[in-house]
């Protein structure tokens, strides 16, 4: 008869993922590829922000974009039209990317010769925050209509982000959005986070964002 | 859906544990899940049943979830209180210099298994 015994495991559920993410980050560092994990809610203007970013930086660095979506290839086609290398990753119903899925994406994509790879994560403020993708840094787009209290509602997302872009500044007069409160709430979750108000449509604040990215990519390859 | 991803990660981790300990069968898995860990144990159990039946090692394995209450510590008055009830503001002194001391856990505690 089979004999069962109790074995102590004492391991975080995320331990495997964290290990895989650390390995991927190290490999990308050696290859000189800066991977930015871009997160947001659906409809915050992530793809538009990305498009303007590619247009501004494509002559200075080689950019690739990995679009993660549950289905469809709408976003990847938009990006390819701008001349950046793009791939669509389907998560097959999953609400986030983990380190292993990111690695598979990167291997299929081929990042040789690229300076900056932007991973557009699934539009969702909960799950992507839990799984380290192996990215060099995490960024998120928060748009004015979503409200300045989002950092209170999604604390984990804001605590893992290095930079928060507050998009759609052009509609600020029509919403009860308090920028100072927003910054205060973000810094409650993460004192080191950089907050940049932008408008991808009008170009407001975009130079500051491009400079942030330029500095990051240069430091990664230093 | 988030829970299904977590279940896959647990299965991967236990497959490793199974190899290291030459296990042929795992009959139960005990997790420690914090009250504010953003993992819903009911969903987890549903995903669990579906996913483990697709593996050899864990087929039919029981999932036991031990919940860990969330407790916050106040640096100003050095007392602890229930996080879910009072959030980040200390109910004793009204201070905001508080941090979570437990309740964030997502751990695999132990398994019951059979060796080959």
- Say yes or no for a CB contact (<8 Å) between A94 and B110: no
Query: What one-character-per-residue DSSP string does B5-20 give?
Result: HHHHHHHHHHHHHHHH
**What's the pLDDT score for residue B51?**
93
- Say yes or no for a CB contact (<8 Å) between B38 and A15: no
Is B54 among the domain residues? yes
Residue extents of the structural domains in chain A: 15-220
Interface ipTM > 0.85:
no
- Say yes or no for a CB contact (<8 Å) between A4 and B106: no
CATH class, domain A15-220, is alpha beta
Average pLDDT value over all residues in chain B = 91
| Nearest neighbour of B21 by CB, restricted to A7, A12, A131 | A7
- Say yes or no for a CB contact (<8 Å) between A6 and B9: no
CA distance A6 to B30: 10
Nearest alpha-carbon partner for A49 in A180, A163, A217, A185: A163
Residues facing B99 on adjacent strands: B73
- Please state the domain count of chain B: 1
**What's the pLDDT score for residue A155?**
83
DSSP A174: G
Nearest alpha-carbon partner for A48 in A179, A206, A195: A206
| Nearest neighbour of A13 by CB, restricted to B21, B108, B113 | B108
- Say yes or no for a CB contact (<8 Å) between A8 and B110: yes
CA distance B5 to A133: 13
Q: Which of A62-66, A92-96, A210-214, B77-81 is predicted least confidently?
A: A92-96
Is B79 among the domain residues? no
The residue segments making up the domain with residue B55 are 2-69+103-115
Residues of A in contact with B110 (CB under 8 A): 6-10
Is B82 among the domain residues? no
| Nearest neighbour of B25 by CB, restricted to A2, A10, A95 | A2
Is B32 among the domain residues? yes
Region B68-97 average pLDDT = 93
Is B81 among the domain residues? no
Is B51 among the domain residues? yes
Q: Which of A110-114, A136-140, B58-62 is predicted least confidently?
A: A110-114
Residues of A in contact with B39 (CB under 8 A): 13
Residue of B nearest to A127 (CA): B2
User: pLDDT tens, A50-60?
Assistant: 999 999 999 99
3-class secondary structure, A142: strand
User: What CATH number is given to the structural domain containing B9?
Assistant: 3.30.2320.50
CA distance A167 to B103: 33
Is B62 among the domain residues? yes
- Say yes or no for a CB contact (<8 Å) between B31 and A13: yes
Reply yes or no on whether the pLDDT at B30 is more than 90.
Answer: yes
């Amino acid at each position: 008869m089979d004999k069962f015994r109790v074995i102590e495991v004492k391991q975080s559920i995320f331990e495997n993922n964290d290990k895989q993410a650390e390995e991927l980050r190290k490999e990308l560092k050696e290859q000189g590829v800066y991977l930015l994990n871009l997160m947001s809610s659906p409809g915050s203007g992530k793809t538009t922000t990305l498009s303007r970013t590619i247009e501004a930086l494509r002559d200075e660095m080689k950019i690739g974009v990995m679009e993660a979506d549950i289905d469809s290839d709408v976003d990847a086609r938009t990006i390819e039209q701008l001349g950046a290398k793009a791939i669509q990753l389907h998560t097959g119903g999953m609400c986030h990317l983990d380190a292993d899925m990111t690695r598979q994406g990167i291997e299929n994509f081929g990042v040789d010769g690229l300076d900056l790879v932007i991973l557009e994560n699934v539009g969702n403020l909960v799950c992507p925050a839990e799984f380290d993708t192996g990215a060099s840094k995490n960024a998120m787009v928060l748009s004015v209509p979503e409200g300045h209290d989002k950092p209170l509602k999604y604390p984990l997302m804001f605590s893992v982000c290095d930079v928060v872009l507050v998009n759609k500044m052009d509609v600020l007069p029509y919403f009860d959005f308090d920028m100072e409160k927003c910054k205060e709430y973000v810094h409650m979750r993460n004192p080191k986070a950089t907050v940049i108000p932008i408008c991808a449509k009008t170009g407001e604040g975009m130079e500051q964002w491009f400079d942030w990215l330029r500095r990051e990519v240069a430091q990664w390859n230093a | 859906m988030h829970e299904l991803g977590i279940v896959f990660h647990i299965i991967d981790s236990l497959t490793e544990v199974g190899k290291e300990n030459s296990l042929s069968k795992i009959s139960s898995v005990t997790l420690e899940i914090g009250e504010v860990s953003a993992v819903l144990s009911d969903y987890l159990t549903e995903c669990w049943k579906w996913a483990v039946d697709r593996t050899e090692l864990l087929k039919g394995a029981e999932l036991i979830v031990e919940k860990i209450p969330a407790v916050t510590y106040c640096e100003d008055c050095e007392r602890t209180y229930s996080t879910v009830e009072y959030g980040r503001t200390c109910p004793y002194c009204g201070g905001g210099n508080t941090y979570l001391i437990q309740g964030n856990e997502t751990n695999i505690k132990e398994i019951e298994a059979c060796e080959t």
